[in-house]
Amino acid sequence: MDGAAVFAFRIDRRSGVASYLQIVQQVQQALRLGLLEPGDRLPTAREVVEATALNPNTVLKAYRELESQGLVETRRRHGTFVVGTLGAAPADSPWHAELADVAGRARAAGLEREDLAALFGSVLDGLYPRIPPNTPEGSR
């Protein structure tokens, strides 16, 4: 165990989102926000198990999922490292300006924040398939 783990997972047991998926999503989120970058080390599965009190298989499943998405890589005896990146849309991208423009016009037309959020959510749902949180992927 060299060096402290740089990333601490928080598991919300009441969220209704499967614990392994929470781990996956927290890594994805950190990648999007630039809190994790290629080369960064994730805590070992054992460290995550100790910190979260989750079943070891749950943690391994999350790490395998992250590996299969090409986001992390486990090197024997060295640990698990970030290798991928997510999010081609930093705050200064042209997409930000376009979205801000649309949102500004929607507000001028009288839409509330929640109206716009719901609309945007439904547009996203139409474009991107969603992973249902409570369905274990068909690994049988």
Partner 1 sequence: MTSPASSPDAALTARGLARRHRRRGRDVLQDATFELPAGVICALVGPNGSGKSTLLDLAAGVQRPTAGAVEVFGQPARTAHPRVAYLAQERPLFRGFTVAETLRFAARANPGNWDADMAERVADASRFDHGERIRDLSGGQRTRVALAVALGKRADLLLLDEPMADLDVLARQELMGLLLAHVAETGTTVVMSSHIISELADACDHLLVLHEGRVRLCGGIEELTDAHAVVTLPGGADQLAGHVVVESRAAGRGTTALIRPTGVLPATWQVQQPSLEELVHAHLGPTTAPALTHLAANRPQDTAA
**Minimum distance from residue 135 beta carbon to partner 1 (Å):** 7
CB-wise, 3 or 110, nearer to partner 1?
Answer: 3
Task: For residue 136, give the nearest of 80, 65, 69 by alpha carbon.
Answer: 65
Nearest distance, CB of residue 89 and partner 1, angstroms: 34
- Which residue, 51 or 106, has its beta carbon nearer to partner 1? 51
Burial class (CB in 10 A: 0-12, 13-18, 19+), 5: middle
Q: 71: left (phi > 0), else alpha (psi -120 to 50), else beta?
A: alpha
What is the per-residue burial (b if ≥16 Cβ within 10 Å, else e) of 120-136?
eeeeeeeeeeeeeeeee
Tell the smallest beta-carbon distance from residue 22 to partner 1 (Å). 11
CB closer to partner 1 out of 55 and 93: 55
Mapped onto helix, strand or coil, the DSSP state of residue 72 is strand
Rounded to a whole number of angstroms, the CA Rg of the chain reads 18
Name the residue nearer to partner 1 (CB basis): 31 or 80: 80
User: In the complex, what is the shortest distance from the CB of residue 125 to partner 1, in angstroms, rounded to a whole number?
Assistant: 20
Residue numbers at the binding site for partner 1 (CB under 8 A): 11, 13, 19, 45-47, 49-58, 60-61, 134-136, 140
Of 49 and 106, which CB lies nearer to partner 1 in the complex structure?
A: 49
Q: Of the candidates 15, 14, 9, which has an alpha carbon nearest to the alpha carbon of residue 66?
A: 9
Closest approach of Cβ 130 to partner 1, in Å? 16
